[in-house]
Amino acid sequence: MKTVVITGSTRGIGLGLARAFLAQGCQVVVSGRQADAVAARVAELGEEFSADRVAGAACEVTDSEALQGLWECAVSRFGQVDVWINNAGISLPRKPLWQQDPAAMRQLVDVNLSGVLLASRVALAGMMTQGHGQLWNMEGFGSGGQMQPGMCAYGASKRAVNYINASLQKEVKDTPLQVSTLSPGIVVTDLLVGDYDLSSPEWQKSKRIFNILGDKVDTVTPWLAKGVLGSTRSGDTVAWLTGPKAFWRFLTAAFNKRDLFADIPGA
């Protein structure tokens, strides 16, 4: 039975992954910045699945000591960490860089870049000591070089994930460790919707694209979890929205009307 640690897993994709791994028989450690949110998710998932397979710890990913505490929580409860997923991330409102709040930009870099580096350091050090383990870092918009107005800071932070993974894969070469990439594509979460002014023409235009290429959390995360559990090589990428899939969706968009935002007020 594998033990999976997921940062930023009290909501959104992280919580969906926690559910998906539990559904596939794993032990899961959830985390988030707020202790009350973590406790609520541990109780919820324990009732839904099995309380003896769920643990949690509050963790700010920019805090090395908190990250070490998350590792130790997993090891003390389940004995080891087989999979560590760096999922925690934040975004900014979609507006030009010169209009962004400097403090918010610094926080984004701290969480999306420094947080990945610090968490990867803790996870890889622990895995090296125990003699095995997989580290997965989460791609996002910009990881593949995509560009859009208003996405400069976020896209740059996600573009860095590619460099981090490629570099770490060289560092773990000839060891039992794996460093790999998760690519969820466009997933409807509050992180996605919260970037937009929902009354703007820009939102209406983006919404049409999202309804073609996007998916719900509970559609994407079981497939991602299965891919992680089936991976055996460092450097693997588990990607939901591939080029051929995106092409097919655009090709059939006129015959496949969807509204992924029907249950979101104002969207």
Tokens representing residue 128 in the block:
């090296």
- Burial code of 49-70, b = ≥16 C-beta within 10 A, e = fewer? beeebbbbbbbbbbeeebbbbb
Known catalytic membership, residue 163? no
* Residue 249 per-residue DSSP state: H
The first and second tokens of residue 267, run together, are 């969207």
3-class DSSP assignment, residue 58: strand
The answer to whether 33 touches 50, Cβ cutoff 8 Å, is no
Choosing from 49, 154, 196, 240, the catalytic residue is: 154
Q: List all residues 6 or more positions away from 11 whose beta carbon is below 8 Å from its beta carbon.
A: 32, 37, 189, 190
The span from the CA of 57 to the CA of 17, in Å, is 16
Residue 142's SS3 state is: coil
Q: In the numeric block, which tokens belong to residue 89?
A: 């991330």
Catalytic positions: 154
